[in-house]
Structure 1
Amino acid sequence: MAYNSPEKIVEITINNGVKKSKFPLSQSLILGFQAGAFIALGYLLCVRTTATLTGDLAGLSSLIGGAVFPIGLILTLLAGGELLTGNMMVMPLARYAKKINTKQVIKNWFFITISNFIGAIFVAYFFGHLIGLTETGPYLAKTVATAGLKIHTTFMQAFLSGIGCNYLVTAAVWLCYGAEDITGKVFGIWVPTMTFVAVGFQHVVANMFIIPAAIFAGHFTWMDYLHNFIPVFLGNAVGGSVFISMAYWYAFKKKESSIKQSNDFLTSKKGA
């Protein structure tokens, strides 16, 4: 399987950040909806495959859920989608490289957050609530229990969990950019994503599905959701923009960029 070096992945990521910053608003919203729905469908699959596990098999639910959930990120990255958590790594790296400005980063995050939420809510309401895929028997119990675990955490716990989640999710995006064939991309996405789900870290877009699904079923409130959204959003932002984006910028590109700027300066001086 052909694979790019980390230095090359930095370049690919920066170029993708610039590309995303130039998307028309309609394109960003459509792709954001797709990504939110894809992640929600992955979580719905997770609920449907683990809710009925009992006895000794119940202990495997985290692993099994983690094994099926990555379909959402695979669809997003390969079929096409704009996912907030991935953009929390891609856009800052383009900003560190001074290819885009801070306003473009914030604008992208804002509209992708909204469109991801609409996509996730669509799946939670129409498939989970109206069809009843999250509101019958063990599936309701699983949905409510999972949402409850996320809501009943302190601000700091949710924030740190968000960091751990997007440390892994953006590593999955990083590996996808590094692979040059579809098999490598799928495998690169699958392993880190499975890990974050099995560990139990919190993903802001995944929570846009599971917590509203429980709310539609008559459990919890939208204020409960907001109290979870804020720390998880912030944690995901730190996980992507600092632990992956900033780390690899300083490791592989900052020195190179400084040398290039110095050479450009010397060249201009000679020309003068």
Structure 2
Amino acid sequence: MMNPAEILSATIHHGTEKVKRPMLEKAVLGFIGGAMISMGYLLYIRVVSSVVDELGSLASFIGAAVFPIGLIVILMGGGELITSNMTAVSVSFFAKKVKFNQLLKNWLFITLFNLLGAIFVAFFFAHFVGLTEVSVYKEELFAIADAKLNMGWLQTIVSGIGCNWFVGIAMWLSFGAKDTAGKLLAIWFPTMAFVAIGFQHSVANAFVLPAAIFAGHVSWLQFIQNFVLVYAGNIIGGVVFVAGFYYIGYRRQMNELEK
């Protein structure tokens, strides 16, 4: 495992490379990122709804344990996820390797294709195949959607902060791990933690809420309002609590290593 100063240097490199990607690569990998996070949430719903009657509240923990497959695929197999980019590209910006307009363009482009990937999965793999028509799965989907929408606006933002603090740490640790097993564990536990706690992830919500919309339960306006608040919280969590804190904490040591 790299030490934190080495991880900071690696993260700056990764963030810079994310900005340099050609548009087509960003589009494809952004779509994959949105789709894979959504597949993880689809798995969560399927698992939780299958065992909730037998295991009660423990079912949510089991669901949280399987959800990380999405982020594992993205960080180890390839993909672009806006919540990860909020951390990685911000670190590169703090290090003056990326310009502010490049950061904004990257965020907007990846967000767009994450949304397309998430809504694609919500429509085709939840709605079209009939999963959300099965009563037990529909009940879990609706319960999750209602819980997200029933939070106050400030609670929603703070929940988004907590989520991307964990997601940013998962990415940070995965960059520092030197082998496959290390990367797997580094991604798994922080991601499982934010899901088990119930923090809100903007791209994951872009699957859950549209899936509920296609099932006739909530509206697009409710989704947009939720997305904006959670996205704002995700920015604060990734930019301030991970990128900012670690850049301040380890910039000096990183500079000494590079001399």
TM-score of the two chains, using structure 1 as the length reference: 0.92
Aligned partner of 2:122 in structure 1 is: 124
2:146 to 132, 145, 148: 148
2:222 maps to 224
CA distance in 1, matches of 2:53, 2:38: 27
State the Cα RMSD in Å.
1.5
Q: Which amino acid aligns with 1:215?
A: I
Question: 1:141-170 CA distances to partner (integer Å, 9 max, x unpaired)?
Answer: 111110111111111010000000000011
Q: Which residue in the other structure is 2:59 paired with? A: 61
- Distance in structure 2 (CA, Å) of the matches to 1:188 and 1:256: 21
Q: How far 1:135 sits from its partner (Å)?
A: 2.6
Name which of 204, 207, 217 aligns with 1:206. 204
Aligned positions, number = 258
**Cα displacement (A) at 1:215:** 0.2
Name the counterpart of 1:14.
12
* Largest Rg, 1 or 2: 1
Number of the residue aligned with 1:181: 179
Contact 2:30/2:113 (CA < 8 Å) preserved in 1? yes
8 Å Cα contact 2:9/2:254 also seen in 1: no
Task: Please name the residue that 1:42 is paired with.
Answer: 40
Per-residue CA deviation, residues 195-244 of structure 1 (Å, 9 max, x unaligned), is 00000000001001000000000011000001101110010010011001
Aligned-residue identity in percent = 46
C-alpha distance in 2 between matches for 1:52 and 1:75:
24
Matched, 1:247 2:245: yes
Deviations 1:77-131 (A, max 9, x none): 1110000000010011000000011101100000000000000111100010010
The counterpart of 1:93, out of the listed 88, 91, 96, is 91
Name stretches of at least 5 consecutive residues in structure 1 with no aligned partner. 264-272
Tell me how far apart the structure 2 counterparts of residues 254 and 238 of structure 1 sit (CA, whole Å): 23
Paired AA for residue 11 in structure 2? T
Distance in 1 (alpha carbons) for counterparts of 2:133 and 2:15: 39
Matches of 2:71 and 2:78 in 1, distance apart?
10
SS in structure 2 opposite 1:52? helix
**By how many angstroms is 1:137 displaced?**
1.3
* SS of residue in 2 equivalent to 1:105: helix
What is the deviation of 1:56? Answer: 5.2
Structure 2 unaligned segments of length 5 or more: list them.
none
